[in-house]
Amino acid sequence: MRVLVIEDDEEMAEAIGIGMRRAQMAVDVALDGDSGLRQSLIVDYDVIVLDRDLPGLHGDQVCARILDRGLRSRILMLTAAGAIDDRVEGLAIGADDYLPKPFAFAELIARITALLRRAQPAIAPILVHGDLKLDTARRSASRGGRSLALGPKEFGVLELLLAAQGRAVSAEELLMRVWDDQADPFTTAVKITISRLRRKLGQPSMIETIPQAGYRITDGT
């Protein structure tokens, strides 16, 4: 899951980014409307957390242009205005949800998680393949009843592979969906993570490498 935060308060944006990464989300940050819009057109984000009162291109305009482009990203709008009329106006522009400042970080994460469930394509709360089970809500995984101690990136990679239902997922797609713009596009992070994940899943191996295509989940036979 990947999130874009467009927030001009640099300290707040950094704090939100740190908190989301701790919640196992891949997060990019933009500090004004123009750069935020450019970023949203480059990367296929699940959720965009959008401050309404932005310098340069106003948050309302950013929201409108994202919708005009037909992007699938869900938009959670933040604003210092807490009046009902302001909330209604923000939703009328096309935002999927609205959260007034100041807010509790736990509520922000809950709102984002709810929007992620509505993002397309939807991922089932519990993914099962053979004796492998992954609970996306509780962030837990097991195989053959044995609990798996997965790191955030390992969990994210396994989640995407299971959600693909046998389709090969490229290293580029995994890097884009599980990591964020702090990752080096030429890194071997995906290959290393797949290797660690294979070891933790045990035998028989359930992750197959498809030459020139990526990786996919198999029956492990």
CA dist 69 and 77 (Å) reads 18
Contact by Cβ (8 Å): 58, 33: yes
> pLDDT (tens digit, 9 = 90+) per residue, 57-70?
999 899 989 988 88
139's tokens: 């962030």
Contacts of 155 (CB under 8 A, 6+ apart): 24, 134, 139, 141
Residue 10: band (very low, low, confident or very high) from pLDDT cuts 50, 70, 90: very high
User: Poorest-confidence range of 25-34, 45-54, 163-172, 196-205?
Assistant: 163-172
Q: What is the pLDDT of residue 90?
A: 59
Q: What is the pLDDT of residue 37?
A: 94
User: Poorest-confidence range of 4-8, 20-24, 167-171?
Assistant: 20-24
CA dist 142 and 161 (Å) reads 15
**Mean pLDDT, rounded, for 85-97:** 72
Helix axes 59-68, 33-42, angle to 10 degrees: 20
Residue 174: band (very low, low, confident or very high) from pLDDT cuts 50, 70, 90: confident
**Mean pLDDT, rounded, for 121-128:** 68
Q: What is the pLDDT of residue 139?
A: 82
Write down the mean pLDDT value for the chain. Answer: 84
**Mean pLDDT, rounded, for 177-197:** 78
Whether 110 shows a pLDDT value over 60: the answer reads yes
Domains of the chain: 2-118 (3.40.50.2300), 126-217 (1.10.10.10)
Q: What end-to-end distance do the CA atoms of the chain give, in Å?
A: 29
Distance set, CA 61 to CA 70, 149, 166 (Å): 14, 43, 40
Q: Which of 2, 12, 10, 20 is nearest to 101 (CA)?
A: 12
3-state helix vs strand vs coil in the chain, percent to 5: 40, 20, 35
Contact by Cβ (8 Å): 76, 115: yes
